[in-house]
Amino acid sequence: MLKIWGRQSSSNVQSVLWCLDELKLDFERVDAGFTYGLVDSEEFRAMNPNGTVPVLRDGQDSAIWETGAILRYLAAVYGGDGFWPQEPAARAQVDKWAEWAKLNVAGKFTVPIFWQLVRTAPSQQDPVAIEKALKILNKFLKVADEQLGKQAFLAGDCLTLADIQFGHCLYRYFDMDMRRADFVHIERYYGQLTAREAFQKHVMFSYEELRVLD
């Protein structure tokens, strides 16, 4: 059976759990990281020398780490052609959006915005830096908004791996107490994602255990 290590409050873990569930795969999850520990143990470091989550094992000797690699592995082995096309040119159309979302949306949202607003005590937050980070994020969200104005999902008419890499950030983006620009197509898309059981179960998960207070 597929086995994944990682706490449910990790956005990277959430994207893998969401993917596993969309692909209707059975898996076992082991809590790890943050207050759940385990990541500094010898056994865990033998699987992932970085001590980060998620980590996936699918029967092989070597575990897989790096969220993008795990997602691509699951998509290639268990995903259908709509989710992750076999043909390289068609696959690249999905992959470019997946890579783009990981770098430009998850990357420009998680640490500069989510960490500032949730994982930093209010007295230590830097509103100028947050404002600047939002401006940068909005530049990329505008690209997604335009794309989603043309089609239902980021890379076409059905859910693909690109939506997992992009969409998993949106629960926190819409749930957090912050200023949001008016992106009507992203709002429509987010509404669609929140209707999916797998998204509700794995992505719409409380992040309160991460909150730092004064």
Length of the chain: 214
Q: Which of residues 86-115 bind ligand GSH (CB under 6 A)?
A: none
Q: Which of residues 121-160 bind ligand GSH (CB under 6 A)?
A: none
First to last CA, the chain: 43
Rounded CA-CA distance 197/180 in Å is: 25
- Shortest distance in whole angstroms from residue 154 CB to ligand GSH: 18
Query: Where in 58-128 does DSSP place strands (E)?
Result: 64-65
For the sheet with 64-65, list strands across it.
Answer: 27-30, 2-5, 55-57, 64-65
**Closer of 5 and 183 to ligand GSH (Cβ):** 5
Judge contact between 203 and 14, C-beta under 8 A: yes
**Closer of 15 and 147 to ligand GSH (Cβ):** 15
Distant-in-sequence, close-in-space partners of 118: CB < 8 Å, separation ≥ 6: 176, 207, 210, 211, 212
**Closer of 14 and 147 to ligand GSH (Cβ):** 14
Which contiguous run of DSSP H or E holds residue 56?
strand 55-57
Q: How big is the site for ligand GSH, counted in residues (CB under 6 A)? A: 10
Given candidates 10, 116, 147, 160, which one binds ligand GSH under the rule CB under 6 A? 10
- Shortest distance in whole angstroms from residue 10 CB to ligand GSH: 4
Site for ligand GSH contains 12 (CB under 6 A):
yes
Q: Which of residues 14-73 bind ligand GSH (CB under 6 A)?
A: 33-34, 39, 52-53, 66-67
- Shortest distance in whole angstroms from residue 53 CB to ligand GSH: 4
Which contiguous run of DSSP H or E holds residue 46?
helix 42-47
**Closer of 10 and 145 to ligand GSH (Cβ):** 10
Contacting positions for ligand GSH (CB under 6 A): 10-12, 33-34, 39, 52-53, 66-67
